[in-house]
Structure formats: C-alpha cells, structure tokens
Amino acid sequence: MIHKLFIANRGEIALRVIRTARAMGIETVLGASEADAASLPAQLADHVQIVGPGPSSQSYLAIDGVVDAMVKSGCDAVHPGYGFLSENAAFARAVQAAGVRFVGPDIKTLEGMGDKLAARALAVEAGLPVLPGGEAATRADVHARAAQTGYPLLLKAVAGGGGKGMRRVDRAEDLDSALDMAQAEAQAAFGNAAVYVERFVARGRHVEVQLLGDGTQAIHLGTRDCSIQRRFQKLVEEAPAPAMPPEAREGIEQAAVRLARHIGYRGAGTAEFLVDAEDFSFYFLELNARIQVEHPVTEAITGVDLVEQQLLVAMGKPLSLTQAIVRPHGHAIEVRINAEDPDADFRPSPGRAVRAAWPAGEGIRVDTHIGIGGEVPPFYDSLMGKLIVHGDTREQAVTRLSDALRSLHIEGLPTTASLHRRIVADPRFIAGGVDTGFLAGLAQ
C-alpha cells in the first residue's frame, strides 16, 4: 500500500490528486514553492513541504530540492501530476534511488517516450503509421529532410511537448529563421535544442486515446478530440472524438493499445494521433507518459477515476478493469480557463481574481484551485481551472457548456472564457469534427 503520498506539482492537478488520495485513505504531502505556500492545494493537503522559491526552475523543476523535500516528509510514493517533472526520467531515477515509488511508467518507458524520435521508432516497431519526416541532427540535415518531406512542414522539438519548440514552415526561404526560433525555444523549455522534421497535414485533427496498463496488459478508455488549439496548445477537449466513422475510431484505439502492449506500459498514458480530416487516415504523434490535463472528459464518460488507477498500479496491483467492462456513456467537453487575454494574442495575465463564481449543476464539473482572491502567479502556466460538462448526447453537452459559460464570472484579470463563449456558439463547433485550423476562422 501507499501510506503517504508526495505531490510534486501545484494548481488544479495537485487538488485533483489530493481528492482521490484522501478517498483512498492516503496521507498527502504537497511539495509547494514559496509562491504557492498559501494556495488552496496547500490548505487542503495534510502537510506542506516547501521545495524552493517561486520560479519553477528553482522549485518544481529542481530535482534535488524536490527529492530532498520528499525524503524529509517521510513519503513512500510521489505523484508528479502533469508538466514539470512528470515525464523526466532523471527525476524518476532519483525518486527510486531514494527508496520511494514513482507513480508513473518505468524509467525505460519514460526515456523512450520522452525522446519523440525514439517514440516514433517504437511506434513503427509496433506497426503504427507515422508521418513522413525524421531526424535532423544538423542544419544541413534539416534542409535535406525538408526537401524530402515537402512543404508545408513542421519543425518539432525532440524533447518537446505543449507546443514548445514547434514551428510551421510554408516555404523553403523561411526554414532557417523558423529553425532558429524552434531550437531556441526548445533549448529554453527542455534544455535540448534538437528538432526533427514532420510533414504538415493541412486539415488535421488531433485525436488521442486514453490508455491504462499494468506492465502486462493494457486497455483503452476511448478517444478524445483536442483539435481546437492556439499555438499548438489545447483549448477545448471532448470525448469521444466527434464525427468520426466507427472504423476510424476503432483503428486508432487498437493502434494505441498495440503500442502500449509493445512497450509494457504501466499506469495512465495517452497516445496522440494526427487524423487527416479528408479521409480519416491517422498517424502516430507521441505517447504522453502521464496523466493529461484533459483526463476529466474520459472520467465523465467512463466513470473511471484515472488517478486512482495510477495509484493502484503503482502499488503493484494488476488492472482491475478489462476492455469488455469499459462502457463509455454520453459525451463530455472540457474548456480550459486560462488567465490570458485572447484579444491580445493570448498574452498571459497573472494577478488576483477579485471575483470567481464557477458554475455548478447537473452534468457540470469544475477542477480549479482559484477562488475569490485566488492568485495566478507569474511563474507558471496560466491555467486557472477546467470547466467540464457531460450529457447523454453531444448536443446536450454543448447546450450545458453554453449555459455553464454564461454563469461563469471571473473578475480582476482577463481570461479565455470570452473566447470559449464564441467557440460554443460557432456553427462549425456545434456540428462537431473541426480541424486544427478552426480558431483561425473564428468570428470575433
């Protein structure tokens, strides 16, 4: 059993883990930065250990400081949440060296999936389709790969995620400047400037599959669509992926399970695919070896607590679920409420929420760490909370989302709520099945 759990994260995901751990009778210790010492997660955890000052490089990303706080608190397991050190193999290795369980995949999987090119190679081994492109170690290699792949194309950070170190290139004459920007961003975000080339699909949809594995067996919990994005970062997620032929959905699900079984995956993970909206052909992109921001939509349609499943697998228990007993019901949609100004190119807007009235009611779930007077520090991601709705049908879920957004009121700083109100009223969104170019054509 896990008796005392260290949570190496902050914000709404820290609260989410605390909620499930408490229900399982597990004592919690929050590893918080000085900037988060008075946060809602810090108030609700059983104990708090300060891991460093506000900047994430000195706190949530500082492996030695996090491990030291974890050891001092006497914890027997650590949950890394998402982002920060959640997919960092060096962190997982340091945790295990300290005699503590890491709630997540084994180190070999973290290393294989953390390098996008290595993940691509493993996917090919498992028989999954991938986009044309590949490794580009030098500037000359990038130009050679680009000539082979053709334009438009994407430059992608090998150690990337969250849209960082990613640039679309439409013309050969733009390649060098885009490469400089992608490498600089990748170096700053991941400490690794390496990039690779991948063909760009003009009408692509971002569809992913939730996976659970125990190292021996693996199952899927259905699809999610995350195609509404800004700068390759997700804004809206829904489950299951709408407007997809059953055979296309089943093909993606089976491909994801095949990969999970091929690598002996343990815990919760997400296989991400690019789907061509024209013919529903699909291509493997990456496997995120952690819980996802958008996991609540899968929980809503399946009734499965994914954090509980992570903790049970970390305790060495085999999966209690089988594919046959996972029966998704209805439709769920999540919108991310960020402290950003959508009318100013999504400029981050840290500050204090002088009013925070979140919606409630049937089919509505809110995951947030921000209440009245809640602070959005300047050091971290701008996510304030997630509004999740569930209905028997997608039409009912869209109606509930529209109603919930009307009753959401946050004052004191700009948020993306105004953008989501425009999205949910757009006929293309209402119809379902939009591609990644949706936001560019959204009416102001």
pLDDT tens readout for residues 371-398: 988 999 999 999 999 999 999 999 999 9
Q: What DSSP string runs through 314-350?
A: HTTPPPS--GGG----SEEEEEEEESEEGGGTTEE--
pLDDT tens readout for residues 248-281: 999 999 999 999 999 999 999 999 999 999 999 9
Distance, in Å, from the CA atom of 392 to the CA atom of 47, rounded to the nearest integer, reads: 40
Angle between helices 295-302 and 306-314 (to 10 degrees): 100
| Backbone Cα Rg of the chain | 21
Full set of structural domains in the chain with CATH: 4-103 (3.40.50.20), 132-199 (3.30.1490.20), 204-441 (3.30.470.20)
Taking the alpha carbons at both ends of the chain, their separation in whole angstroms is: 53
Distances (CA, A) of 191 to 20, 157, 177: 33, 11, 20
Joined together, the tokens standing for residue 24 give: 């399982």
Distances (CA, A) of 201 to 171, 234, 235, 271: 15, 17, 20, 18
User: Can you point out the beta strands (E) in 34-174?
Assistant: 47-52, 77-79, 101-102, 133-136, 153-157, 166-169
Check if 101 is active-site.
Answer: no
Distance, in Å, from the CA atom of 155 to the CA atom of 166, rounded to the nearest integer, reads: 5
Catalytic residue among 10, 167, 249, 290: 290
Please report which helix (H) or strand (E) contains residue 122, including its range: helix 116-125
Tens of pLDDT, residue by residue, the chain (444 residues): 999 999 999 999 999 999 999 999 999 999 999 999 999 999 999 999 999 999 999 999 999 999 999 999 999 999 999 999 999 999 999 999 999 999 999 999 999 998 888 899 999 999 999 998 887 778 999 999 999 999 999 999 888 776 788 999 999 999 999 999 999 998 887 888 889 999 998 889 999 999 999 999 999 999 999 999 988 889 999 999 999 999 999 999 999 999 999 999 999 999 999 999 999 999 999 999 999 999 999 999 999 999 999 999 999 999 999 999 999 999 999 999 999 999 999 999 999 999 999 999 999 999 999 998 899 999 999 999 999 999 999 999 999 999 999 999 999 999 999 999 999 999 999 999 999 999 988 866
Distances (CA, A) of 308 to 23, 74, 399: 9, 21, 30
Joined together, the tokens standing for residue 200 give: 């760009």
pTM (2 decimals)?
0.93
Give the burial class of 402: count Cβ atoms within 10 A of its Cβ; 0-12 exposed, 13-18 middle, 19 or more buried. Answer: middle
